[in-house]
Every structure is written in structure tokens, then in C-alpha cells.
Chains A and B, each alone.
Chain A
Amino acid sequence: MILKKLTFAVTLALSTNVVLANCGDINGRVSIIGNEFPAIQTVAAAAATCASDSVTVESNLTADYQTINLPGLQGNPAEYTTAVITNSSIVALMNEDVIRPLDELIAKYGQDIPKSNLITIDGKVMAVAFMANAQHLAYRKDVLAEIGVEPPTTYEELLSAAEMIREKGIMQYPVGGTYQAGWNLATEFVNMYNGYGADYYKASDSAEVAINNPQGVATLEMMKALTEYMNPDYLTHDSNAATAEFEAGNTALINIWGSRMATLQDNEGAEEVVFSNTISGGPLTVAGGTTPATALWWDGWSIAKNISDEDAEASFVAMANGIDPSILNDDTMGEAVWMLEGYTPSAANDGVFASIKAGSKSFPMLPYHGLLHTALGDNLSDYLQGKESAEQALADTEAAYTTAAKEKGFL
């Protein structure tokens, strides 16, 4: 905790040297809730430079932000004035109507924000995006050179490379992934299912789920084929564990978040042979498809509805300052795929760019998709463990989703 505060203070001190706070004439309360990774810490630190005698800036950055941002915005006045969200977590906030349209604030204070960063829903700007993210391949080029194959571009190639690595006795479990039962496993299903190109619901305006189809079964079968090459504990591996396994040199081919690449490639926590040979690959396709088996994400921020206009203005100005292009320097440049002017991609960001270029689908932003995500996370592990058939796991998921959607009034 102390260490965290210390690093925060240091980042703050460093960024104040670079960022010239241009916060204008505002006063009020700014309180930020968001996920915890380097890019968001950079944004929050830059927003904090707007603190003055008339403006207070606080931030609560935690990996559990998804479970607390809604209650934190529901009060009146809300505890948090602004939330750093993704295309997935914004849905819960929109469902409960706790974030405000930003059009007026943009007209007044946000003329510099590029139009392409604005998330417009039904004609109203609901969020401002500042970075893109996606899960894609990361591989060890030395290991692939040893078995003499090119970096895989499809999951089928990845499987045969994994088999060769095992046969040669280089690694017993060469494949890694974020397969922890729950949210992570559901996200991996969404990635793979996107690659097979089927729809999640019966119609675009229907909340009736339709994943129990041949593509759904194929998705699960491919996931199971991959798990054969994963550490048997894969159902307990989240992003942190998958990153640690790779850094320890236990895996050579992993599907990992673009925002983790900087960690994999830096010289901390890994031997030189590992980090110097780590390459950010592109997204993989599956079964001869052209759409990559991944989903595109953006991270951005929204402003709470249940706060005074004064606080909303202060929060908007502070957050706009937080994503000012001047936050980009040598240290922060590689932290993410920034959607900011003056951003020059580093090698770590190749994967996310390749994912965008290859026409990956963005993560579904539907009001009921959160329920399907929970149902997927709860029901797929039985199949991967061989306790039931793929069809049964999908049928269970559909049944769980349908029950939940009825309770929430979507069906």
C-alpha cells in the first residue's frame, strides 16, 4: 500500500514536470474510480495536476472497479464524479442511467478532443476514449526458431507449434492464456467465438441468446484443444498468473492483453533470454476465418450524472487534462495504444494495431451482455474439465442467462 502510494506520488511528481496543467477557471470536486494498470495511473496522475485551492482531485484505482463503480455513482450526490470505463463496463452504468451526456461540456471545454475519441450513443456523447486494447498472441522467438516454424497466424498453426515444442522437450505446457473460471474464461470464449463469426443473439434487437450452435461447439472444442497444452491449473490463471508463467519461461505462446506487453518485454521479473525474445504477435484467426479470434476494447472516461454541474465541469476539465497529448513521454508511450495526438507506437503495441487493422469485432456493448458474460464464466469450466459435453455446457449457459435475463426484465 505504502509502495503504491509512493509510486503514485513519484509518477505525480514526474508528470508535473512534463504536464503543464491547463485547467482553466474551475472549482469543485473531482473523484476518479477506475481500473488499475500503468496507463490509467498515468491519466489519473495527469488529472490530479488540476488540483488547486478550489479543486480537489482524488482517485481510487483498483482491479475491483467493476463491482464498485456502479454503487459509487448511484448515490446522490455520487461518491465518484468520473469513472474510467471500457466498452464493457460502461454498459452497466448506462443501464442504470448514472452517467451524463457530455455534449455541452465538450462544446464548452473539450474542443481539442478529436471526434474519433468520442463514444456517441443515440446521438449523445457518453464517454471519451483514450486507449485501445485487445488480446493477441505474444510469443518467444527463440523457442519458435528452435523448432523452425514461423510465428503462427492461426490457432491451428499455434496448436501444431505447441505440439512440436512439447515433442522436442523444450516445454511441457507451452501455451498460456487467461482461462481463470469466471470473467476471464468468458472473455476468452468471446474472443474465440468472434473468430468463428456467429451471432450471440437471435436477432440484433433481441435479447434471446443463440450461442448453442455448431460455431459455439467448435469454439469450445478449440479452447479445450488449447488447454491440452496449458499448465493443468489453467482454470486458476488470470492475467497476472498468465504473465508470471510467461515471464518465468514456462510458456512460449500466450494470448494476452495488449496492455500487458510492456510488462512482458521489460527487464523486470524475467531472465534476459525470456524478455529479449518476447515478440508481440498479431491476433490469430481460426478455422479458415478472416475475422480474428479476439475482441477490440477501448478504455475511456464518463462523468457521473448525480453530481452538481460545477463538479461535473471540474471533473471534465481534469480528465480532459488527464488525456492531454502532453502526458506522452518516453516512459508512458509504451504503456498502451494511446488514441492521442503525437503517439508513436512501440513494438509492444504491434498486436493491438494488427487486431484493429485485421477488422476484429469490438466487444459487444449490449445492455444484457453482462448477464451472458457471467453465465459463460460460470458454466464453461465443466466442459473443459471433461465433466460434460460442449452442447451441455452451452445449453447450461443459455439456461442460466435466460433465467437471469428474465429476472432483470430483458425477456
Chain B
Amino acid sequence: MKHKTFFWFVLPSSLAMLLFIFFPIVSVLIQSVHVDTEQVIKEVTNCGPFGCETISSIDQEATQALKQDNPLGRFAGFTTYLDRRHLAIGEISTAWRSNNGMGDFFKQLMNLPFYKALSFTLAYTFIVTPLVILFGFVIAVAVNSAVKWVRGPLIFFSLLPMLVTPLVGALILFWMVDARGVVGAALQYLADDPNLSVKASTPLTWVMLMVYGVWHSAPFAFIVYYAGLQSVNKETLEAAMIDGASRWEQIRYVIIPHLLPLTTFIALMQLMDNFRVFEPIVSFSAEAHATSLSWAIYNDLGGETRQLSSAAATSVLTILGICILLLPVLVRTWRDFSRK
């Protein structure tokens, strides 16, 4: 393609990306380095059905005057990033100096909201992503080797988890793993422990969230692999068969190398998606056991008093996290590209 044609070809999408992705990110960046102006408090009498009392209230006139002078709020630099809810540099250095061994330091670290959220987010990302790829591949190979006429219904059923709205899918599982639900009661029977509760145990909640994640995302990997399987070179496959390759050897030496570029693509998408894990935590009411970075953003914005700067700082840190995660995959893609 000529450069000029290419330019006109990508212009609309570039403009849209600039408008709807780049500028909002810049605004989030600016928000994250500002905090609200000082709130001027005055004492007022507050009367209602339960009697009168003297309470603090915001002096709107004085506060508005301050806000007019600084519409963006006070410039705070990176203080929001370094505070206790984010990187918590001060708390970590205190914990480092005054801990009773590594275990205690680790415990103090996990008590900080950002690191608690990060630990689950990373565990989720690195456990769910490979499992999604594995299950997606297995299902694709299985469906592909099925008789032609059952493939249509099979594909439909395999895709169902992805078609179901995440919140609804998670809610269904949430009720099933309840101590009185099908799965919950079965687990109690299997473990021979009538008090076993998935929702009350942190490790089991993590497992439940990850099982949900794999269940929900495997169809995506499946459909990509299934599409890839249709383009496997039949002659190479036949040649392998004539050479006496077993079914497993055909998969290992013909199909897997053929699908490798797709694996990079799926890994890229899944790393991004899983790092932003959010819906299952809300629909499983799992916040007591597992929080993620996206959940932290939601929590800052969902309270009665919205904490925009804190949410903005977590957003920027999430974007940075995704960049770091994707770096190896991107470097690999770039190398493959330049080799060609």
C-alpha cells in the first residue's frame, strides 16, 4: 500500500482513537496529579424529624471561591501515587525496617490495598491465561475431529459461556456454589465437611473466581483456534500420516506450530482482559477475599463520596501494569516481524 493511501485509510480510526482513547487517558493522567481543593468547614444547626444537632458542613461559598481559583484542584504531583492506597512507599519502608522476618513483612505488604489487589490480579492473570489457551485448544481439536453434522451444535454450546453476560454467568455460578447450592452441597459431601463454604474461604473463593474466568474465556480461545484449524495444510498433515505420525505427533509437529501465531494473539488479548478482572468480584460479592485493580477503581468511584484522584491514579497504574505485562509478547512479535 502506498503511504498516502495508508494514511487516508487509517485516518478515521486514528482520529477516533485520539478522541476517545488518547485524550481521556491524558485527562485521567492530569486528574491523578491533582487533589481536591481544601474544603472550608463551618458548624451549622441541623434539624430534622429526630431533633436538632450541631454538625459540620461544607461552607459552599468559601469552598466555591477556592474552586473557582483552581478548577483542577490542588496540584499534588505524585503524592496520590505514593500514598497508602497506591504504591504506599512510606508504609513499605516502615514495614521493611521494623518487621519480624520476611513472613511478617509479606503480611504487612498484603495488608496494603494496592498490593492486596495486585496479588490477586497477577495470580488471576497468570493462572487463567494459560488455562484458557489450553482448554481453548483442546476443545477446538475435539470439535474439529467430530463428525461434520454435530459440529454446528457443538460450536454453539462451546460458545455459550462467552455469550452469557458476565454478570449473569457469574451470578449463576455464585448460587450454585452456595452452601445450599448444587456445587456447594456436592463439595461438602465430597470433602465430608458439612461446614465447608466456598464463599467463606479465601483460597476457595480464589479458585472459584479463576474457574469462572476460565469457563468464561475459554470459548474465545476455542473459536480462534478452531478458525486456525480450518487453514491447516492438508498435504502436510497427509505427509505426516504417511510417515507414520501418530495422532499426538500430528498435533505436536504440524498443528501446534501452525497455530503458534494465534497463540500469541490469544495470550495478548487474555493478558489484557484478565489483568482487568472485575465483574466476577462484584457478582460473587468476593471483595472480602479478593480485590483487583479494576475493582479498586470501581470502589473509589462507587462510594457516596467519589474519590476521582485515587481512581485516576489506580487507572494509570493499571495501564502501566498492562504495558509491562505485554512487553515480552510485543517484543516477540516485533522480532518475528523484523525477521521476515
Residues of A within 8 A of B (CB): 66-67, 70, 87-89, 91-92, 94-95, 97, 116-123, 129, 132, 180-182, 204-205, 207, 231-236, 238, 296, 298, 339, 356, 362, 364-368, 370-371, 373-374, 378, 381-382, 384-385, 388, 392, 396, 399-400, 403-404, 406-410
* Interchain CB contact under 8 A, A121 and B178: no
Picked from A88, A97, A378, A396, the residue with its CB within 8 Å of the CB of B60 is: A97
Contacts of B41 in A (CB 8 A): 205, 207, 367, 410
* Interchain CB contact under 8 A, A381 and B288: yes
A-B contact count (CB 8 A): 169
| Partner-contacting stretch, out of B77-85, B119-127, B144-152, B220-228 | B77-85
* Interchain CB contact under 8 A, A408 and B35: yes
The residue in chain A whose Cβ has the minimal distance to the Cβ of B309 is A407
CA distance A250 to B283 in the complex (A): 23
**28 A–B contacts from the bound complex (CB under 8 Å):** A66-B304, A70-B306, A92-B305, A92-B306, A97-B58, A97-B60, A116-B49, A122-B46, A129-B48, A132-B49, A231-B179, A234-B200, A296-B50, A362-B48, A365-B55, A370-B303, A371-B305, A381-B288, A382-B111, A392-B111, A400-B84, A400-B113, A403-B84, A404-B310, A407-B309, A408-B39, A409-B35, A409-B73
CA distance A203 to B178 in the complex (A): 45
* Interchain CB contact under 8 A, A367 and B48: no
For the side of the interface on B, what is the size category? 35 or more
Shortest CB distance A187–B (Å): 12
Shortest CB distance B310–A (Å): 6
B199 contacts chain A at the CB level, 8 A cutoff: yes
The residue in chain A whose Cβ has the minimal distance to the Cβ of B39 is A409
Residues of B within 8 A of A (CB): 35-39, 41-51, 53-58, 60, 64, 73-74, 76, 80, 83-85, 111, 113, 178-179, 195, 197, 199-200, 202, 284-289, 299, 301-307, 309-310
Shortest CB distance A102–B (Å): 13
* Interchain CB contact under 8 A, A204 and B200: no
* Interchain CB contact under 8 A, A373 and B48: no
Contacts of B310 in A (CB 8 A): 403-404, 407
Picked from A89, A122, A236, A371, the residue with its CB within 8 Å of the CB of B285 is: A236
Picked from B43, B199, B305, the residue with its CB within 8 Å of the CB of A233 is: B199
* Interchain CB contact under 8 A, A403 and B85: yes
* Interchain CB contact under 8 A, A95 and B288: no
The residue in chain A whose Cβ has the minimal distance to the Cβ of B177 is A233
* Interchain CB contact under 8 A, B45 and A122: yes
Contacts of B286 in A (CB 8 A): 236
CA distance A204 to B54 in the complex (A): 8
* Interchain CB contact under 8 A, A374 and B303: yes
Other than the given A66-B304, A409-B73, 7 more pairs (CB < 8 A) read A91-B305, A97-B58, A204-B54, A232-B179, A356-B50, A362-B48, A409-B39
* Interchain CB contact under 8 A, A89 and B304: yes
Interface centre among A95, A238, A364, A382 (most CB of B within 10 A): A95
CA distance A366 to B179 in the complex (A): 40
Contacts of B304 in A (CB 8 A): 66, 88-89, 91-92, 370, 373-374
Contact of A371 with B303 at beta-carbon distance under 8 Å, contacts A233-B178, A365-B46, A407-B36 already known = yes
CA distance A267 to B285 in the complex (A): 29
Shortest CB distance B294–A (Å): 15
